[in-house]
Amino acid sequence: MTTNTPDRARTRFPGISSRAYEHPADRSALVALRSLTGFDTVLRKMSGLFNERAFRLMFLGGTVRVGENQFHNLHDMVRDACYILDLPEVPEVYVRQSPEPNAMALGSDRPFIVINTGLIDLLDDEELRFVIAHEVGHILSGHAVYQTMMQILLSLGSRLAWLPLGNLGIAAIIIGLKEWFRKAELSSDRAGLLAGQDLDAAKRTMMKLAGGTRLQEMSSEAFLEQAREYDAAGDVRDGLLKFLNLLPQTHPYAVMRFAEIDKWAHGGEYERILAGDYPRRDDDGSASVTDEIRNAAKSYRESWEQTADPFIGKVRDVADAAASAAGGLFDRFGNRRDNGPTNSSN
């Protein structure tokens, strides 16, 4: 597996909507939230509780701001990603000394990117390009704004921990939000691929996040097979354990992200976008919430049908049985309503 890709012209996507690359479950939530008049404004006001300005000053004073004279290579990468994805304002990037290989997009009014030195040391240039574009995808989708909800709820959860039931309600909502965030990560992986246009680099990134820099000791084919094995591993008990292990995670496991980006790259949608067939930002206001919710449901249904996980199979069987029972109930109710009440005489 090569670790470097020669410079080449990359396709640009003028006016591209984030809907082009968002996972259906992520997209349906975002379209619904965007349709609520004033919702962004409310969230931005609420984000003031965490003082975005203080965060920015903290990074300005304690990290290295990327620019023409500092980390020039990263500066070029973020500008290139914004140019290709047509993000009007190039976000600031800060490099933070930390061995943890991580990057994040923060802020709502003026989102910015933070990348740890552990990630810079781990990745080559094309892999870093993928990561930078991944974070630009978060900003283009507005994830930084909507993730404010989780920060607020986490704060509320800690304050309400003394209440018998208050924290349980908050915890249930956070579980749902984390599921959304995991899908948002898959969305941004797609944005990273669109901007970098190097599938091997995207895959190498996932492999390095899982196993470090020794790519000569790894195989992309074996890693993909590992993803299949994880999907089908064990019995119903193992499936339940996988589900419980995933609940607290904000990111999908690297092996599954590898499989998902490989699937999306070869599924036809990526090629259509490269050919210029993608939704435009100007049409975001007319996006149908109902259609996107249906798309999300279809995506989950297809995922459940394709998985070999025995636990998901059992859950699917129970859900199908419940749906059949509910359908029969509604059919009987509908027949009774259509036929009217029956009277028996003796």
Return the active site residues. Answer: 135
Residue in this structure with the two tokens 């359908």, named with its chain if needed: 327
Q: 64-65 and 112-116: which strand pairing?
A: unpaired
Amino acid at 190: R
Helix H or strand E encompassing 90: none
Q: CA-to-CA distance for 73 and 175, rounded, in angstroms?
A: 38
Under 8 Å between Cβ of 160 and 167: yes
Q: 103-106 and 93-96: which strand pairing?
A: unpaired
Amino acid at 35: S
Contacts within 8 Å (CB) and 24+ apart, 328-333? none
User: What single-letter DSSP state applies at residue 67?
Assistant: S
Residue 285, C-beta contacts closer than 8 angstroms, at least 6 positions apart: none
Q: What does the block give as tokens for 65?
A: 């701001």
Residue in this structure with the two tokens 């025995």, named with its chain if needed: 310
273 SS3 class:
helix
Q: In Å, how far from its chain's centre is CA 39?
A: 20
Under 8 Å between Cβ of 184 and 141: yes
Q: CA-to-CA distance for 301 and 320, rounded, in angstroms?
A: 11
